[in-house]
Structure formats: structure tokens, C-alpha cells
């Protein structure tokens, strides 16, 4: 494989195509994002804007945290991320602040809801890399493409290789544990099998009781959950906070529901490096249930 190193950038043909540039000039990268958009990005990338908390986590994990010049609310991990200027949230981004920061690239989340702002940023000829992983494998491929886009291919491949190796260790093909994943305290919202969390449940050997319904994040009724008779109910719960009333409510049905547990949404709901910890947690609970049954 042909490769060329310029500063921190490894121009690897496996991730992008080198453009014809005179010797001593910047390396230009052709990168395809998760939505199929093609971007030509001049290297090195020194100024990055991240428009989603999980993208901020990815950038820090790749060693590029010091190059983030703007992010959004709730980008709180690692702790250093809290010091980065905020340009809005998932639904409302300050286009003026983004443009004024003169970024080399903007990383955005397609499902985040700020499509109008993203279109405006893109109209300013600023590269906007769209991240939208459908499953765990696509998530890891996306991390590698982000690494290539910002000149951190080696760090990205190291991260994803370790991630994949650990997944092999904790995965299971035994789909006997029926799981209901609850992502809302107010109304009963869950995920289907197409959601990244749904793929995590399947990887751990679980059977999502609402795997086949639409949309990707459907609202269900209490009666539907009880009728599905899940062995395990997982409720998103921030560490150190009081359990929602749903924990007590579900535990009223011991003959229908075997176990109710909380899980940190920042680990399982964010498509970042800590997703591995969330999957390990889910797999661990299912493994414990399997051991108890035997």
C-alpha cells in the first residue's frame, strides 16, 4: 500500500485518495462521510468543530481534543471538553459562531436535528462531515474515516482494533434473554433492532422484544411491554441520580419480568468510544442471568 507522511498526517490510500499537489504543499484528502458525501479536506486539520457530544468524545480519543475550537451543550466528556466554547445544541447551532471560528472541518450528527444550520454552514464552503452509524461495525468504520479526515488514521485504527477484539470476547449468539430497553422516564420510548442499541443487545445474545417494529425509536404502551414478557428491562439512568418511578413499577410484576436494571445513557446511547463500556455492561447482565438460570 502506498503511503505518504506529512507532519501528523498519514495519507493512506485505504481511507482517501491523494490529490495532485506540489511538493512541500499541504496534503489534500478525499473523504467520504457516513451519508456518502465526498469532502476534499486540506491537511493538516488544526481547527475542528464538533456538533455532537459523542463526536467530541471521538476526537479526544483520537488525540485531537486540543484542536476542537467549538462544540455543543452536553459535550461533557472527558472533563477537558467542558472548557470548549459552546455554539448551541443538537437542534440549534449558531452558524455565525461556527463561521467566525474558521474551522478546517465540522463534524456533525445527521440525526441531531440541526439540519438547517448544517446546510447554512455547508453553503459557506466549510467541509461538514456527517456521522450516522447504523450498527456497531459502521460506527467503527466511521471512527476510522474521521481519523483519516483529521490526520489521525493510526490512532483511529488502534482504537477500533482494540474495540473489535473486545467485542469478540464478550459477544454471544445465544438469543434466549428477552430485553426491553427503556429510554424515557415520561413516555415509554424504546429502540428497535435497527438502532445502534438494538445491535448492541443482539451482539450480547439478547432478543429485543420490539426488534421488528417501526420507527427506529418507537413509543410503546405498558400493556405491550407486559405482553412481551421481557426477562430483562434496562432503563437509562444517570449514575448518582434517584431511580425513576418506572423501576418500582416494573418490579411489581415478578412473574412477568425477571430483572430491572439501570444503565448510564452516556455509555450506551452515545456513539463514542465509551460505547464499548455500555455493551460490556449489557453483555455482563445477560451473562449473569444465563448463569442464574443454569
pLDDT per residue as tens digits for the range 207-251: 999 999 999 999 999 999 999 999 999 999 999 999 999 999 999
CATH number for the domain running over 3-166: 3.40.50.1980
Note the pLDDT of residue 16.
40
**What are the CA-CA distances from residue 200 to residues 52, 63, 165, 208 (Å)?**
21, 26, 15, 10
Note the pLDDT of residue 6.
26
Note the pLDDT of residue 176.
86
pLDDT at 29 > cutoff 90: no
Q: 219 forms bridges with which residues in the sheet? A: 189
CB 216 within 8 A of CB 210: no
Note the pLDDT of residue 210.
98
Mean pLDDT, the chain, rounded, equals 88
> Counting Cβ atoms within 10 Å, is residue 225 exposed (0-12), middle (13-18) or buried (19+)?
buried
Least confident segment among 23-32, 123-132, 176-185, 220-229: 23-32
pLDDT at 10 > cutoff 60: no
- C-alpha radius of gyration, the chain, whole number: 21
CATH 1.10.3210.10 fits 171-293, yes or no: no
What percent of the chain lies above the pLDDT cut of 90?
A: 78
Q: Where in the chain are the domains?
A: 3-166, 171-293
DSSP, collapsed to helix, strand or coil, labels residue 45 as coil
pLDDT at 145 > cutoff 80: yes
Residue 77 and residue 56: Cα distance in Å, rounded?
Answer: 8
Q: What angle do CA 142, 148, 153 make, to 5 degrees?
A: 100
What percent of the chain lies above the pLDDT cut of 70?
A: 89
pLDDT tens profile 51-80: 999 999 999 999 999 999 999 999 999 999
Task: Record the cell numbers describing residue 201, joined without a space.
Answer: 443487545
DSSP, collapsed to helix, strand or coil, labels residue 49 as strand
> Counting Cβ atoms within 10 Å, is residue 7 exposed (0-12), middle (13-18) or buried (19+)?
exposed
Cα(first)–Cα(last) distance of the chain, in Å? 50
pLDDT at 293 > cutoff 80: no
Give the residue-averaged pLDDT of 80-89: 96
Give the residue-averaged pLDDT of 252-264: 94
3-166 and 171-293: identical CATH topology: yes
Residue 234 and residue 49: Cα distance in Å, rounded?
Answer: 33
Amino acid at each position: 500500500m502506498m503511503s505518504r507522511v506529512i507532519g501528523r498526517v498519514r495519507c493512506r490510500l485505504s481511507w482517501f485518495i491523494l490529490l495532485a499537489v506540489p511538493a512541500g504543499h499541504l496534503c489534500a484528502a478525499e473523504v467520504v462521510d457516513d451519508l456518502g458525501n465526498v469532502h476534499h479536506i486540506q491537511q493538516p486539520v488544526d481547527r475542528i468543530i464538533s456538533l455532537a457530544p459523542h463526536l467530541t468524545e471521538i476526537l479526544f480519543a483520537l488525540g485531537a481534543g486540543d484542536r476542537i475550537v467549538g462544540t455543543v451543550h452536553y459535550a461533557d466528556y472527558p472533563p477537558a471538553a467542558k472548557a470548549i466554547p459552546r455554539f448551541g445544541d443538537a437542534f440549534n447551532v449558531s452558524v455565525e459562531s461556527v463561521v467566525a471560528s474558521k474551522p478546517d472541518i465540522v463534524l456533525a450528527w445527521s440525526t441531531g436535528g440541526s439540519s438547517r444550520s448544517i446546510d447554512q454552514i455547508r453553503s459557506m464552503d466549510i467541509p461538514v462531515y456527517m456521522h450516522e452509524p447504523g450498527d456497531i461495525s459502521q460506527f467503527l468504520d466511521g471512527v476510522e474515516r474521521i481519523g483519516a479526515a483529521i490526520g489521525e488514521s493510526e490512532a483511529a485504527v488502534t482504537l477500533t482494533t482494540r474495540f473489535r477484539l473486545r467485542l469478540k470476547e464478550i459477544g454471544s449468539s445465544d438469543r434466549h434473554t428477552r430485553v426491553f430497553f427503556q429510554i424515557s422516564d415520561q413516555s415509554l420510548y424504546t429502540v428497535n433492532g435497527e438502532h445502534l442499541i438494538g445491535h448492541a443487545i443482539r451482539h450480547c445474545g439478547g432478543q429485543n422484544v420490539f426488534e421488528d417494529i417501526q420507527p427506529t425509536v418507537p413509543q410503546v404502551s405498558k400493556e405491550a411491554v407486559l405482553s412481551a414478557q421481557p426477562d430483562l428491562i434496562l432503563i437509562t439512568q444517570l449514575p448518582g441520580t434517584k431511580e425513576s418511578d418506572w423501576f418500582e413499577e416494573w418490579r411489581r410484576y415478578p412473574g412477568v419480568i425477571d430483572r430491572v436494571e439501570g444503565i448510564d445513557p452516556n455509555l450506551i446511547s452515545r456513539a463514542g468510544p465509551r460505547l464499548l463500556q455500555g455493551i460490556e455492561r449489557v453483555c455482563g447482565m445477560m451473562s449473569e442471568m444465563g448463569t442464574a438460570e443454569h
